[in-house]
Amino acid sequence: MIEKNRAIGGETLFVCSCEGSFAPDAPALASLLGLDGGKSGSDKPGQVRACSNLCGAERDQLTALAGSAGAITIACRQEEAGLRDTLDDLGYTGNTSFIDIRNAAGWSSEAAMAGPKIAALLAAGRMAPPALPFITLDSKGVTLIYGRDEVAIEAGRKLADALDVTVMLQAPKAVTPPARRDFPIVSGRIRAAKGWLGNFELTVDDFALAAAASRASLTFGPPRNGATSLCDIIIDLTGDAPLIAADALRDGYLRVDPRDPLAVERLIAKARDLTGTFDKPKYIDFKPDLCAHSRSKITGCTRCLDVCPTGAITPAGDHVVIDPNICAGCGGCASVCPTGAAAYALPAADMLMKRLRMLLRTYAQAGGKNAILLFHDTDHGEPLIDALARFGDGLPARVIPVAVNEVTQVGIEQVAASFAYGAAGVAFLIAAKPKHDTLPLHRLADLAAALLPGLGYAAEALARIETDDPDALLTVLRAMPAGAAPSQPAAFMPAGAKRQVMMLALREWQAHAPQKPERIALPKGAPFGAVSIKAEGCTLCLACVSTCPVSALTANPERPELRFQEDLCVQCGLCQSTCPEKVISLEPRLDFTQINTAPVTLKEEEPYACDNCGKLFGTKSTIETIKGKLGGKHWMFSGPNADRLKLIGYCDDCRIEAATLGGFDPYAGPERPRVRTTEDYFRERPEDSEKN
C-alpha cells in the first residue's frame, strides 16, 4: 500500500469506465490507494466506487454520498462541469477533484497494461493542490486604437459603446472622416510603449489632433514630438512590428493583421472583455538576497535576463527585479536560476517534485516498469493527448503525462528527481510554434546531455518533442529507450529552498544511477563547478570572499585562510572578475562527492605575530614582502629613517602608538621637485632665447 497523501476519512473515489470503453481495476486501485473497495450502489463513503456512466444513469450515486463524503474524487475530466453543477445543486461543500485516466491511459492500444499508470495518476491527483499567489490588474477601459486607415476608425466605432476609445493614425493619407465624431481621432507615431493591462505608458512623436473642419479626408493640426499618453488597453492595427517584446504574452496589448477581417472581429470581441478587475497569478517568487547578478558594479550571473522573453526582468544594482505585472509565467528564469532567487510558484519546485515522487513510486508499486514522464502544458499538450486517444493508439502504457503550467518552468532539479525516483526517460512536449521562447528548455537539455551519458543513460533518455501532430508525438515516445531505470529507486522527500532540493536530487540521482561517477565535466555556463586559484599568486586579500553572493568562498575568522564549498558555487564568475591578482579560474563540473560536505581550503598562510605585542595580524608572507619592497628604497624607511621599518611589523594599535610617541611627521620628506608650468616651457624655447 502506498503512503497516504491526505486524510482520507470519508473520501470516495469514483472510477468511471466511460460506458465500458476501458476497464479500470477498481479493487486493485482501492488496495494501492489505501481505500476500501466498496461495491457499486453502496452509500458508504471512504471507498473506491466502480461505475460506467456517472455523468448519466448513475448520477444518483453522487446524491447518495453528497451528505456524508468528506472528499469526492472523480476519475473523469470530460464531464467535470456537469458533475460540479450536480454537486453544487446538492449543496455539497467538501473537497472535489477530477482526474483524467481515460485519455491518459484507458483509451490506448496498450490499455490492458495501463493499470500501474492509472494508479499513479489517481494517487498524484488526490494530492492537495498548493495555494497560489495572485496580483490584481485594474482596467477602466481607456483604449488606444493604433492604425493607419479606416480599419482602425471602424474598430473604434464598434468599441465606442463599451470602451473609452481614442484612435491614433500613423502617417495617415486619404482617410475619410467619420460622419459623427464619437471618439477622438489623432495622428502620431508611437516611439516607445511600456506597461501592462491597466497601466500602459506611450511616448508619441508627430502627435496632432484631427481638424473638425476635415472635409473629403482627415486633416490634422501642427505636430509635436515627445507627447506622452496613458491608457489601459492598446489595440495595434498598423500591421507593423509589435510595439512590445513578446507581444502575444502582454496582457492588454492586442495586435492582429488589419488585412484579416475575421481576426479584427475576434480582437474587437476580446477587447470588450478587458474592463474591470482581474486576478493574475504571481508566477515567480523572487528573493533578492539570493541573487548573484552583480556585486560592486561587476556583472556576474545574467541567466534570467538572457531567457526572459517579455522584458519583465531588469537589473537593479546587486540583484535583478521581476515585474509580476509583465511576467507571462514562462518560468524560464526559475528554470535557469542557479541560486533559487527566482523560484516558480505554480507550483513550487519541491511541490512538483513531491508530485513526481508520488507518480513514480505508485507506478512502481503497482508493477510498472521503465516509466517515461511526459511534461506538457494544458493549452497544447492536453488537446494533443486527447486527439491521440480519440483518433490514434493513445499514449503507451509506460508514458505518464505530467501537466505543468508551462513546460519551460521545469529545471534540472525536476529532471534529476524524475530519474532518481525511477523514470527511464523524460520528454518535453511543446508546440511547433511555441508561445514562449524555448531557450530555457534548450539550456536544460544541454546540461542534461552532459549528465546522462556519465550516469549511464542513453542520450535519447531525454527528448524535446516539438510537434502539433499526435502521430509524431507517439512515434518519438515509442522510440525512447527502456531499461535504464534503477531497480531500487530513491525515496527522498524534497523539502526546502530550490538550491537545497536541487543538490539533494542530483546526489540521489547519482546514488541510484546505472553508473556512479564521482564527477562529470560540464559545459561553460553550467550552474555547478569548482573555483581554483594559483596559490603562489594569491595574497589572501579576500576580495573574492566579499563579492561571492552565495558564500561559496569564505574566510576563516581565526587565521589567514580561504575556503571553498563547491555545492554552493553557481559559477557566476564574480570572484574571477574581482580578484586583483587574476589568479582565480572556474571549472564547470558536477562533483557528487562535494555535495553536503565541509568547505575545502584553497589557500592558507601562517599569520604574522606583532613584533611589539605578539598579536596575530596579516600574513607572514605579506608583511615580509612589504618590508622587502620598502626597506632602504623609500625615504620613509631609509637613511636616518631606517628604524621606522620596524613599524611594518607592528599591528594597527602598536603602529599608531609608536608613530605618535616617536613624533613621526609624514610631511618631513625631501623637498618635491617644483611643478613645471607652461611659462617654463616657453622660456626654454630657442627662439625665445634669441629674442632675449
Return the exposure string of 360-382: e unless at least 16 CB atoms fall within 10 Å of the residue's CB, then b: bbbbbbbebbbbbbbbbbeebbb
- 237 and 268 both lie in a single domain: yes
Q: Do the domain assignments include residue 675?
A: yes
Distance CA 162, CA 477 (A): 49
336 and 403 belong to one structural domain:
no
pLDDT higher than 60, residue 3: no
The span from the CA of 308 to the CA of 328, in Å, is: 9
Q: Per residue in 274-311, pLDDT tens?
A: 999 999 999 999 999 999 999 989 999 999 999 999 99
List, for residues 339-359, the tens digit of each pLDDT value: 999 999 988 888 999 999 999
Task: Scan for cell 518519438, then name that residue.
Answer: 476
Residues 597 and 489 in one domain: no
Of 569, 604, 639, the last residue of a domain is: 604
User: What is the C-alpha separation between 12 and 314, in angstroms, rounded?
Assistant: 49
Which cell goes with 666? Answer: 609624514
Q: Which domain holds residue 357?
A: 349-508
Q: How confident is the model at residue 631 (pLDDT cuts 50, 70, 90)?
A: confident
> Residue 691 — pLDDT band, cuts 50, 70, 90?
low
Rounded to the nearest 10 degrees, the angle between the axes of helix 412-420 and helix 439-451 is 40
The answer as to whether 405 is a domain residue is: yes
SS3 for 58-115, per residue?
A: CCHHHHHHCCCCCEEEECCCCCHHHHHHHHHHCCCCCEEEECCCHHHHHCCCCHHHCH
Q: Edge-to-edge, what's the strand order for the sheet holding 529-533?
A: 519-521, 584-591, 529-533
Residue where one domain finishes, among candidates 344, 361, 376: 344
Percent of the chain topping pLDDT 90: 74
428 is a domain residue: yes
At 153, give phi and psi (nearest 5°): -65, -40
Give pairs for 237-244: CB < 8 Å, separation 24+. Answer: 237/145, 237/146, 237/147, 237/148, 237/151, 237/152, 237/155, 237/264, 238/146, 238/147, 238/148, 238/170, 239/148, 240/170, 243/146, 243/190, 243/193, 244/193, 244/194, 244/311
Give the DSSP letter of residue 388. H
* 382 and 445 housed in the same domain: yes
Task: Determine phi and psi for 12, rounding to 5 degrees.
Answer: -125, 130
Q: Do both 640 and 662 map to the same domain?
A: yes
CA distance 17 to 24: 6
pTM over 0.75, yes/no: yes
Q: Is residue 581 part of a domain?
A: yes
pLDDT digits (tens, 9 = 90+) for 175-210: 989 988 899 999 999 999 999 999 999 999 999 999
Mean pLDDT check: name the lowest of 96-110, 487-501, 567-581. Answer: 487-501
Host H or E run for residue 139: strand 134-139
Specify whether 497 is located in the same domain as 383.
yes
User: Among 71, 98, 125, which residue terminates a domain?
Assistant: 98
359 and 405 fall within a common domain:
yes
pLDDT tens figures, 589-625:
999 999 999 999 999 988 888 999 988 888 887 888 8
Which amino acid is it at 132?
L
Residue of 70, 73, 56, 69 whose CA lies nearest to 18 = 56
In this prediction, residues 539-558 reach a mean pLDDT of 93
On whether both 264 and 392 belong to a single domain, the answer is no
> Residue 181: its pLDDT value, please?
87
Judge whether residue 10 has pLDDT over 80: no
pLDDT in tens, 458-483: 999 999 999 999 999 999 999 999 87
Class of residue 614 by CB neighbours under 10 A (exposed 0-12, middle 13-18, buried 19+):
exposed
Domain with residue 303: its CATH number is 3.30.70.20
Q: Flag whether 128 is in a domain.
A: no
Please measure the distance between the N-terminal and C-terminal CA atoms of the chain and give it in whole angstroms. 113
Residues 40-50 have pLDDT tens digits of: 444 455 688 99
Once rounded to an integer, what is the mean pLDDT over residues 564-593? 96
Q: Does residue 175 contact residue 160 with C-beta atoms inside 8 Å? A: no
Report the b/e string of 116-131 with b at 16+ CB within 10 A. Answer: bbbbbbbbbbbbeeee
Same domain for 467 and 567, yes or no, is no
Domain tally for the chain? 6
- The pLDDT tens digits of the residues spanning 50-73 come to 999 999 999 988 888 777 778 899
Is residue 117 assigned to a domain?
no
Q: Considering the domain boundaries, does residue 115 fall inside one?
A: no
> Does 120 map to a domain?
no
pLDDT for 670 equals 66
d(CA 395, CA 372): 11
Task: For residues 143 and 273, state if they share a domain.
Answer: yes
Shared domain check, 471 and 409 = yes
> Of 128-137, 181-190, 269-278, 551-560, which gets the smallest average pLDDT?
128-137
In three state form, how does the secondary structure of 294-345 look? EECCEECCCHHHHHCCCCCEEEECCEEEECCCCCCCCCHHHHHCCCCCEEEC
Q: Using one digit for the tens of pLDDT, what is the confidence trace for 480-517?
A: 998 777 778 999 999 888 899 999 999 999 999 999 99
CATH number of domain containing 233? 3.50.50.60
3-state secondary structure at position 541: coil
487 and 415 together in one domain: yes
For the stretch 650-671, pLDDT in tens is: 998 998 888 888 776 666 666 6
C-alpha cell at 368: 510498472
Asked whether the beta carbons of 33 and 24 are under 8 A apart, the reply is no
Of 288, 595, 310, 292, nearest to 439 (Cα)?
310
CATH number for the domain that contains residue 531: 3.30.70.3270
Q: Report the 10 Å Cβ neighbour count for 522.
A: 20
| Number of neighbours of residue 502 by Cβ within 10 angstroms | 27
pLDDT at residue 643 in the model = 79
